[in-house]
Structure 1
Amino acid sequence: MLRSLYRRLGLGHLVLALAVFSLLAAFANTFYSAYRVQREILLTNALEANRVYAAKLADSTSNFVRSAQQQLAVSASLLGARPFGRQALEDEAWRLLHQTDSFNSVLIVDARGTVLAVMPTTLNLAGKQLDSEGARAALDARQPRITQAYVSAAGNLVVNISQPILGKDGRYLGYVAGSIYLREKGILHALLGEHYYRDGSYLYVVDRAGRILYHPDSGRIGKVARDNPIVADVIAGKAGTRRIANSRNIDMLAGFAPVPVAGWGIVAQRPVAATLAEMDRLTLAVLRDTVPLVIASLLAAWYLAGLIAKPLRQLAQATGEKDTAATLRSIQGIRAWYFEARQLKQAVLEGLATLQAQIGALNEAAVTDPMTGLRNRRALSAQLRNWGAAAQPFAVIAIDVDRFKRVNDTYGHEAGDKVICHIARLMRECSRQGDFLCRAGGEEFLMLLPGCGAAEAMLIAERLRQRTAATPAPGVCAVTVSLGVASWPESHGSMERVLALADAALYAAKEQGRNRTVADASLDLPDAPRPPAPRSAG
């Protein structure tokens, strides 16, 4: 059988086999290489996004802890200044509990550990002597303290924040403490809330002992997770990223950041499968669009292989002629095979060109924000490198939607997405051709204006702010934006530093009341005036 197949094997079959192998090998190699590169980019970006998210939440949590300590310190100072009666102590405990909703309960305890006042009173601890871990720690330390998670005298899993009460003579009188209940809705739930995504992403908080203080799965709260390398890093004060399998053996991309003031750590995680889901969809689309072209190319290769073999077949037939003249006439009538070879090459090149075009579309998707069509942070980094190489002056406008969380909470995340797209559309309308528009993340945007000075950038930013305030978003009442402006090289520093200066100006606009444009302080430009408050009816 093999000998029979060998005898039937001709040049056309060999050329066809070679063409098919070359085409499929080139297709597979190019497709696989592009897939691997884009996959690594997506994973790296997801890790960095989780790290930034964890750092942002860590900063918010640090601010809350400092604020809570300040509240308790002021109360301790008042309580130590002069003696208070029982009603006054209860009033002070009531004020601490209800002033900011920072605590689930408040206690005022004397130097022997006896409860002088407690809120809420339903805890029934007034007059009792505490012997819990948190009470002993506060009495022994006699200084500001944040405890690890422990079970309180009332049976709640809590974290205690305490401040010592000192008399005018410096004598230790006791302490005032606020408790955060970990298994009930409280300040940690308000600060951290639910992760924006609904794709298996979540975050959790641990204390310095590795005990979980917050977790979307309430059954995990109070459990110790020190065997987790991420937990070990974050409670050691480290911030960073890591790919790891969680307790359910799900492959996760984690970013983590410490909260040094409390000794806590925050970890944000997203499943690898969710990160790659969009890329898998795009990959399947590329395959679906490319396979017909590959099939067409294979058919062309089969036809061209016949054309390549035809001249040699005709030559073999011609040499079988007995008459020399007839053989010469037959050879003269054979067309050269170079034309057919060029056609085959052209067919293969066209097939590969089509594949490259599809992969180019995949690359474009990797640098584009899918919701708004604006560029993403990867494209921003590439643009800055290009401008840096060309020493291109430019201005930066950092933009943030005011009170965006309120929009999501009031109208839902679908309405929030419409607001994001609405702001992107207004950015395009208020920008120039050649300006670089970027969605930096969430409700934050950047406009990079090449060849634009700081004064002109202020006018563009103010025009965008006014258009936003005057144009209601679909399905939502009017929203406003705050803007920060910086310019390179007018603002001192590197290109990357100018982005930070624009961001700092943006936060200055937030602190000054929102809905305004603020320039980087080093530019010596006047900030755009804040619009007057609307008059009330009548």
Structure 2
Amino acid sequence: MATLSALVMLGNAVWASYQVQRKQLIDSTLEANRVYANKLAQTTQHFVLSAQQQLASSASHIGRHLDQPSTPDEEAERLKQQTDSFNSVAVVDAAGVVKAASPAMPELQGKALTSAANKQALERRSPLVSDPFIAPTGNLVVTISHPVFDAKGVYAGYVTASIHLKEKNVLHTLLGTHFYRDGSYLYVVGRDGKLLYHPEPNRVGESAIRNEVVRAVSQGRSGALHTVNSHGVHMLAGFAPVPAVGWGVVAQRPVEATVAPLGGLMSTVLRNAAPLGILSLVLIWFFSRSISAPLWQLARNAQAKDVGEAISKVRLVNSWYFEAAQLKRAVLVSFRTFSERIGKLDVAALTDPLTQLYNRRGLERALSEFSRSGAHFGVIAFDVDHFKAVNDRYGHSVGDEVIAGLAHCMRANARPQDVLCRFGGEEFLMLLPGVDARGAVLVAERLRKAIEEHVFPEVGQVTISAGVSHFPDTEGEADLAIRQADKALYRAKDAGRNQVVLYQKRSRSDLPPAS
């Protein structure tokens, strides 16, 4: 048991260590991804604000030089050439007609745009980042626009820069270098939960709003969660919003990749701990055996059938430590009290549990002792008149109280040497050693009056009928006197109950058969 306990404790310690290390790895990865996503969100926020500032500068320049027809073309080309952040740049007038574009897009030149982004830009007349939409060129794009006002403050259109989501774009430049071979990756979602950037280009434009991380970041929240991606892979995701545009950046890593180092780490721990662990188990086995040896010897010797032999063997046990010595002393004491306990059990076997009077076994033992000693004794047999009516009217619990009360009256009217028995349900017997027939009748009559005058709870008063006999005044064996008293009891009942009848010797055929 000690060895098993040590193994269980060792296993539990290893398992607990594994769980703690696993939790630390997961928590640290979640925190790292949260911080990383927040950093990249800030970078993206800075890019958007910078792009809006560039467009604001161009819009201001265009507004001041609207009288020069070449200004829109020149400014569109300048914006496209000065940065590779945009896939295309266009200048649109107040009617939504494309006035200039870079690179040149003949299919759009001079035509009115009908996209939701164009309509929104014309209506709001304020800096705007659109939701993803399919442009007339067939590209999935996001546009950043800024209104153009002339020198008098009249709205003259807007300048817009587009990012083609399914082509190489600024998001690839900002985020694409952060893809790892262990399955970690980043993605960006719009405010509607659609993917704006993903390492798998074919997924750009898909809605991922069912993902709890996407729902959280689309609502402007930041944090970290243990989630499951669209492929059913458990991921540790950190997320942060880009407030300027309502986008969200998510950095996530597979749980499996996070906890992969644990296997090697735990193997190293076990290899290093094994020698000391084995030595500890051997020492535990040795000391456990030494400690248990006295207990085993005590247990084996206590099984000896002969009490004297058991005591001599127990005394030879080397109880070298305090607990074993105390146990040895207790075993020796238990042998000495063994006989006393048997005696008490014997008394319990001879006693009626309700009244604490002798039962039939006790009666038989008393008769055997009287027969061996040759003593003469009087016999009183009695039962309660109409006891069945008591049980039927008041219940058996009240009937039991009456029986217990009768036993109390018997003790009050008996000597210490008298044998008091409960012979049956409501039948009782008294053996009066050294008392003749006349004395037995007097005792029975005194008992009858005492019971008649006694008030029993709920029931009130009850009466008894008693029969008396004497041994050896009547011929036969001692147990014959019991039957003779029983016979006299039935005569008392036939004579009207609540009286005492002394058995008068008649022919043997009058005696009732032995029960």
TM > 0.5 between the two? yes
Q: CA deviation at 1:85?
A: 4.5
Q: CA deviation at 1:336?
A: 6.4
* Structure 1 vs Structure 2 CA RMSD: 3.1
Q: CA deviation at 1:298?
A: 3.4
Rounded Cα–Cα distance in structure 1 between residues aligned with 2:165 and 2:41: 17
Question: Equivalent residue for 2:27?
Answer: 44
Does the alignment pair 1:195 with 2:175? no
Rounded Cα–Cα distance in structure 1 between residues aligned with 2:280 and 2:180: 43
Question: Equivalent residue for 1:63?
Answer: 46
Question: Equivalent residue for 2:348?
Answer: none
Rounded Cα–Cα distance in structure 1 between residues aligned with 2:250 and 2:134: 24
Question: Equivalent residue for 1:245?
Answer: 228
Question: Equivalent residue for 2:101?
Answer: 118
Q: CA deviation at 1:208?
A: 1.0
C-alpha contact 1:194 1:216 (8 A) present in aligned 2: no
Deviation digits for residues 335-388 of structure 1 (CA, Å, limit 9, x no counterpart): 76559x9xxxxxxxxxxxxxxxxxxxxxxxxxxxxxxxxxxxxxxxxxxxxxxx
Among 17, 27, 31, the residue aligned to 1:34: 17
Q: Secondary structure at the match of 1:230?
A: helix
C-alpha contact 2:147 2:155 (8 A) present in aligned 1: yes
Rounded Cα–Cα distance in structure 1 between residues aligned with 2:296 and 2:40: 76
Q: Secondary structure at the match of 1:53?
A: helix
Letter in 2 for 1:33: A
Question: Equivalent residue for 2:139?
Answer: 156
Among 165, 174, 178, the residue aligned to 2:148: 165
Question: Equivalent residue for 1:106?
Answer: 89
Does the alignment pair 1:209 with 2:186? no
Question: Equivalent residue for 1:77?
Answer: 60
C-alpha contact 1:111 1:175 (8 A) present in aligned 2: yes
Give me the TM-score of the superposition, normalised by structure 2: 0.56
Question: Equivalent residue for 1:281?
Answer: 264
Q: Secondary structure at the match of 1:121?
A: coil
Alpha-carbon spacing, 1:302–1:70, altered in 2? closer, same or farther (3 Å): same
Q: Secondary structure at the match of 1:290?
A: helix
Q: CA deviation at 1:38?
A: 2.6
Alpha-carbon spacing, 1:153–1:85, altered in 2? closer, same or farther (3 Å): farther
Q: Which moved more, 1:21-30 or 1:304-313?
A: 304-313
Does the alignment pair 1:174 with 2:157? yes
Unaligned runs of 5+ in 1: 1-17, 342-538
C-alpha contact 1:207 1:264 (8 A) present in aligned 2: yes
Alignment of structure 1 residues 197-346 onto 2, 5 Å: 197-308=180-291, 337=320
Alpha-carbon spacing, 1:308–1:85, altered in 2? closer, same or farther (3 Å): same
Percent identical among aligned pairs is 48
Deviation digits for residues 110-144 of structure 1 (CA, Å, limit 9, x no counterpart): 11222111111156422222212222222222221
Q: CA deviation at 1:284?
A: 2.3
Question: Equivalent residue for 1:94?
Answer: 77
Letter in 1 for 2:232: N
C-alpha contact 1:159 1:182 (8 A) present in aligned 2: yes
C-alpha contact 2:225 2:238 (8 A) present in aligned 1: yes
C-alpha contact 2:189 2:249 (8 A) present in aligned 1: yes
Rounded Cα–Cα distance in structure 2 between residues aligned with 1:143 and 1:112: 16
Rounded Cα–Cα distance in structure 1 between residues aligned with 2:63 and 2:243: 29
Q: CA deviation at 1:76?
A: 0.6
Rounded Cα–Cα distance in structure 2 between residues aligned with 1:298 and 1:123: 86
Alpha-carbon spacing, 1:301–1:93, altered in 2? closer, same or farther (3 Å): same
Q: Based on CA coordinates, which of the two structures has the bigger radius of gyration? A: 2
Alpha-carbon spacing, 1:331–1:175, altered in 2? closer, same or farther (3 Å): same
Does the alignment pair 1:143 with 2:126? yes
Q: Secondary structure at the match of 1:184?
A: coil
C-alpha contact 2:236 2:255 (8 A) present in aligned 1: yes
C-alpha contact 2:188 2:249 (8 A) present in aligned 1: yes
Q: Secondary structure at the match of 1:255?
A: strand
Rounded Cα–Cα distance in structure 1 between residues aligned with 2:190 and 2:314: 92
Alpha-carbon spacing, 1:225–1:336, altered in 2? closer, same or farther (3 Å): same
Deviation digits for residues 182-230 of structure 1 (CA, Å, limit 9, x no counterpart): 0111111111123264311111111111111001111210011122222
Unaligned runs of 5+ in 2: 325-515
Alpha-carbon spacing, 1:202–1:155, altered in 2? closer, same or farther (3 Å): same
Alpha-carbon spacing, 1:133–1:162, altered in 2? closer, same or farther (3 Å): same
Rounded Cα–Cα distance in structure 1 between residues aligned with 2:320 and 2:94: 104
Q: Secondary structure at the match of 1:194?
A: helix
**Paired residue total:** 319
Question: Equivalent residue for 2:440?
Answer: none
Question: Equivalent residue for 1:459?
Answer: none
Rounded Cα–Cα distance in structure 1 between residues aligned with 2:292 and 2:141: 84
Rounded Cα–Cα distance in structure 2 between residues aligned with 1:105 and 1:313: 92
C-alpha contact 2:229 2:235 (8 A) present in aligned 1: yes
Q: CA deviation at 1:304?
A: 4.2
Give me the TM-score of the superposition, normalised by structure 1: 0.54
Rounded Cα–Cα distance in structure 2 between residues aligned with 1:282 and 1:46: 17
Q: Secondary structure at the match of 2:178?
A: coil
Question: Equivalent residue for 2:3?
Answer: 20
Q: CA deviation at 1:30?
A: 2.1
Question: Equivalent residue for 2:429?
Answer: none
Deviation digits for residues 428-462 of structure 1 (CA, Å, limit 9, x no counterpart): xxxxxxxxxxxxxxxxxxxxxxxxxxxxxxxxxxx
Alpha-carbon spacing, 1:328–1:97, altered in 2? closer, same or farther (3 Å): same
Q: CA deviation at 1:302?
A: 4.0
Q: Which moved more, 1:256-265 or 1:298-307?
A: 298-307
